[in-house]
Amino acid sequence: MKIHKLIAGLFITSSLAYSFDLGSITKSVLENVNSTTKSAETSSLDNSTVSSGLKEALKVGVNYAVNTLGKENGYLNNKEVKIPLPENLAKVETVIRSAGGDKIANDLINSMNKAATTAAPKTAEIFIKSIENMSLDDAKKILAGNDNAATDYFQNNTTKSLTDMIKPIVQKTMEENNVAKYYDLANNFYKNNVKSYVDSSSVMGYAKNFGVDSYLPGSSEQNLDDYVTSKAIEGLFVMIAQKESEIRNSTAAQTTSILKQVFGK
């Protein structure tokens, strides 16, 4: 009797273990089937549909980015893309503000973000042109990639040309918004009100040994142009990536028939 019970117990335990393993295996199989099914669905789409769907998604993302960042205070009021002080000034921002430089720091931040916002709508044509030049192979790879695959491709392959084309726009708008003036004011404020204290203070003098003196901002306007241009483009990519992810994962964001056909689950 004991032997029968032992055998029965072993059978039940083995069955439970098998059931558990079977559940895991079933889940894995289903995941593979779903993945294979999605790949099959994608491969069943003709080349024109794949290409058109990807381009449509990017155009939607570009329009979203341009409209969002191109409105008043589009960069400034968006914590994800707001352009902060350049690194060399950001390192001493707290000291500048503590020394009474709040307005100067704010004016510089506001003017840089305003320049980026002014430039944003003018970038749409550049982005759209880049989208139209995307190859079919690129489109297929992007469709099979992660949520930000298209944006990553866009960023890796067009940043230089975008920079070359956008920079003059940023330079012009920065000039119109007195960015260089505010940058010079921040530089001079640091030199006259902060660095002089660092140099003359025996306490702060010790800090110089740890690199505080190297925080002195540079005076190159060209570097500032590059900085704002880079941040403006970076912000556009961030917003495009957000919309691309939405289109891939939310049926509500698939607002056209081609988007539903290519990205629908």
SS3 track for the chain = CHHHHHHHHHHHHHHHHHHHHHHHHHHHHHHHHHHHHHHHHHHHCCHHHHHHHHHHHHHHHHHHHHHHHHCCCCCCCCCCCCCCCCHHHHCCHHHHHHCCCHHHHHHHHHHHHHHHHHHHHHHHHHHHHHHHCCCHHHHHHHHCCCCCHHHHHHHHHHHHHHHHHHHHHHHHHHHHCCHHHHHHHHHHHHHHHHHHHHHHCHHHHHHHCCCHHHHCCCCCHHHHHHHHHHHHHHHHHHHHHHHHHHHHHCHHHCCCHHHHHHHCC
Best CA proximity match to 95, nearest among 197, 180, 185: 197
pLDDT of residue 38: 44
Check the CA dihedral 186-188-192-197 and report its sign.
positive
pLDDT of residue 84: 92
Best CA proximity match to 236, nearest among 79, 105, 87, 123: 123
Check the CA dihedral 164-168-174-180 and report its sign.
positive
Q: Which two tokens stand for residue 190?
A: 């640091």
Q: Which two tokens stand for residue 17?
A: 């273990």
pLDDT of residue 199: 52
Q: Specify whether the CB–CB gap between 231 and 116 falls below 8 A.
A: yes
Rg of the chain, C-alpha, whole Å? 28
pLDDT of residue 152: 84
Q: Specify whether the CB–CB gap between 244 and 54 falls below 8 A.
A: no
pLDDT of residue 208: 43
pLDDT of residue 43: 53
pLDDT of residue 148: 78
Q: Mean pLDDT per 10-residue run, the chain (265 residues)? A: 42 42 38 41 71 89 94 96 86 78 86 89 85 86 83 81 81 79 74 59 41 41 78 93 90 90 81
pLDDT of residue 220: 42
Check the CA dihedral 196-197-202-207 and report its sign.
negative
Please report, for residues 84, 118, 175, 217, 258, the alpha-carbon distance to residue 182 in angstroms, rounded to integers and kept in the order given. Answer: 14, 17, 11, 13, 47
